[in-house]
């Protein structure tokens, strides 16, 4: 009788021929160690996370868009309906704009002389090189559009990115380009994009300049917190599920995860945590940082449903390797999903969140009042 511990597929791979598809390579040769976790991530994303009833939130950390992963990976996932809402570093969105503006990024060497690069007017992100003028031209574009009348108010970062995405889409069309910007494609498909630290990038720096110039554009970070919590609460109602796919760690990882503590701990609404947890990271858990924190640790905060913990997957590898493989695997095996267009539903979602918050607060106050009356009898 075979022991339950030995019920897994036997490791007896076929020889690689060079003609394998990504699916065949992952299924037949990614058996163990980090390759095994990457296979499990592909399976989790494709077979469970992309179920019709699951709302998928993705966080993006690390210099992904300068390396072209916005165009090659994130945009196809959005178009396929595989990503419903996003939290990204502002830097990824700023560098994403370069592509819509027709500004080029180049392969380079991580061993170049940075003093010589500075003298030549070349900026380096490890082994990605680009002209310093790329920054100036992108700043000029952001400054011009952010001065427009429709921007002169307090807004969530999702609103700001949606508006900027519309102008980037116009610029793409004028230049004869298409599908070059995450912001542009998200604008078209109604995918809300948030930045957890809006001042921490050249995007935020350009908005800060406008404040010095007397313009009215401000970011409403409370709106970001409430809108993202509302998205998750809506996802979990009526039999739905919530998945978080975290590419890297940092503040965006926390922002997608903190939606559940916001619902449970702060608003007092009964909830159990995200259903699916998938992360690619190179951070260690033993340093205590959020980037390396495990899904089991997240359970202790109420971020992840403990009953779903066995299906959580963490891949310890470079995101620029893992993300394209997961995306290619999923796009090969799953048909596109219907677009949820969560951006268009933000106001209604927050209104529902407010109703449930008020109901939960009233219940807590009534319970507390009852406890006080009970103790007064004695």
Q: Give domain status of residue 260, yes or no.
A: yes
Q: How is the chain split among helix, strand and coil, in percent rounded to 5?
A: 60, 10, 30
Q: Are 112 and 124 in contact (CB under 8 A)?
A: yes
7 lies in some domain = no
274: containing domain: 23-372
* 278-289: average pLDDT: 89
pLDDT digits (tens, 9 = 90+) for 218-261: 999 999 999 999 999 999 987 899 999 999 999 999 999 999 99
Q: Quote the mean pLDDT of the chain.
A: 94
Query: How far apart (Å, rounded) are the C-alpha atoms in residues 74 and 149?
Result: 30
Is residue 240 situated within a structural domain? yes
pLDDT in tens, 13-66: 999 999 999 999 999 999 999 999 999 999 999 999 999 999 999 999 999 999
CATH number at residue 244: 3.40.910.10
Q: What is the mean pLDDT of residues 153-174?
A: 98
Q: Using pLDDT thresholds of 50, 70 and 90, give the confidence band for residue 376.
A: low
Catalytic residue among 236, 241, 253, 303: 303
377 within domain boundaries: no
DSSP secondary structure, 187-206, as one string = HHHT--EE-SSTTSSHHHHH
The answer as to whether 65 is a domain residue is yes
Local confidence band at 1 (pLDDT 50, 70, 90 cut-offs)? low
What is the structure's pLDDT at 284? Answer: 86
Domain presence at residue 13: no
Among residues 70, 55, 38, 89, which one has the least CA distance to residue 253? 89
Per the listing, tokens 């004028």 go with: 174
Please answer whether residues 55 and 85 qualify as being in contact, where contact means their C-beta atoms are separated by less than 8 angstroms.
yes
pTM of the model: 0.94
Residue 378 lies in a domain: no
> Please, are residues 32 and 23 in contact by the beta-carbon 8 Å criterion?
no
d(CA 349, CA 351): 5
When divided into structural domains, the chain yields a total of 1
Dihedral angle sign, alpha carbons of residues 28, 43, 90, 69: positive
Q: What is the pLDDT of residues 93-151, one digit of tens each?
A: 999 999 999 999 999 999 999 999 999 999 999 999 999 999 999 999 999 999 999 99
- Is 369 catalytic? The answer is no
Q: What is the pLDDT of residue 324?
A: 97
**What pLDDT shows up at residue 179?**
93
- Consecutive H or E run containing 189: helix 182-189
Give the whole-angstrom CA distance, residue 211 versus residue 66: 28
Contacts of 316 (CB under 8 A, 6+ apart): 34, 37, 281, 282
List the beta bridge partners of residue 241: 54
Alpha carbons 183 and 157: distance in angstroms, whole number: 12
Please check whether residue 226 lies inside any domain of the structure. Answer: yes
**Cβ(221)–Cβ(198) under 8 Å?**
yes
| Inter-CA distances, 276 with 83, 150, 327, Å | 14, 37, 17
Digit-coded pLDDT (tens) for 298-316: 888 888 888 888 889 999 9
């Amino acid at each position: 009788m075979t022991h339950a511990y030995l019920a897994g597929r036997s490791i007896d791979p076929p020889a690689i021929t060079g003609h394998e598809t990504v699916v065949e390579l992952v299924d037949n040769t990614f058996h163990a160690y980090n390759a095994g976790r990457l296979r499990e991530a592909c399976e989790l994303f494709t077979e469970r996370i992309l179920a019709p009833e699951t709302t998928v939130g993705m966080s993006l950390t690390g210099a992904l868009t300068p390396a072209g992963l916005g165009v090659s990976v994130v945009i196809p996932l959005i178009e396929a309906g595989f990503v419903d809402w996003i939290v990204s570093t502002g830097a990824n969105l700023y560098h994403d704009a370069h592509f819509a503006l027709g500004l080029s990024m180049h392969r380079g060497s991580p061993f170049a002389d940075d003093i010589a690069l500075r003298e030549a007017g070349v900026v380096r992100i490890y082994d990605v090189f680009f002209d310093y003028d790329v920054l100036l031209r992108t700043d000029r574009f952001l400054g011009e559009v952010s001065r427009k009348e429709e921007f002169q108010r307090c807004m969530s970062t999702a609103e700001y990115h949606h508006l900027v995405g519309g102008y980037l889409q116009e610029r793409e069309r004028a230049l004869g380009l298409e599908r070059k910007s995450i912001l542009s494609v998200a604008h078209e498909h109604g995918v809300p994009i948030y930045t957890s630290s809006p001042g921490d990038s050249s995007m935020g720096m350009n908005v800060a300049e406008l404040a010095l110039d007397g313009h009215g554009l401000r970011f409403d970070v409370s709106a970001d917190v409430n809108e993202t919590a509302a998205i998750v609460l809506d996802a979990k109602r009526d039999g739905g599920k919530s998945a978080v796919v975290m590419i890297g760690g940092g503040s965006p990882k926390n922002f997608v995860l903190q939606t559940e503590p916001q619902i449970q701990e702060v608003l007092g609404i009964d909830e159990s945590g995200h259903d699916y947890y998938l992360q690619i990271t190179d951070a260690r858990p033993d340093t205590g940082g959020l980037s390396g924190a495990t899904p089991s640790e997240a359970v202790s905060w109420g971020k992840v449903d403990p009953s779903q913990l066995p299906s959580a997957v963490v891949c310890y590898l470079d995101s620029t390797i893992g993300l394209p493989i997961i995306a290619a695997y999923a796009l090969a095996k799953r048909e596109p999903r219907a677009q949820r267009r969560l951006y268009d539903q933000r106001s209604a979602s927050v209104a529902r969140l407010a109703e449930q918050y008020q109901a939960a607060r009233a219940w807590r106050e009534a319970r507390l009042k009852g406890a006080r009356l009970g103790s007064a009898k004695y």
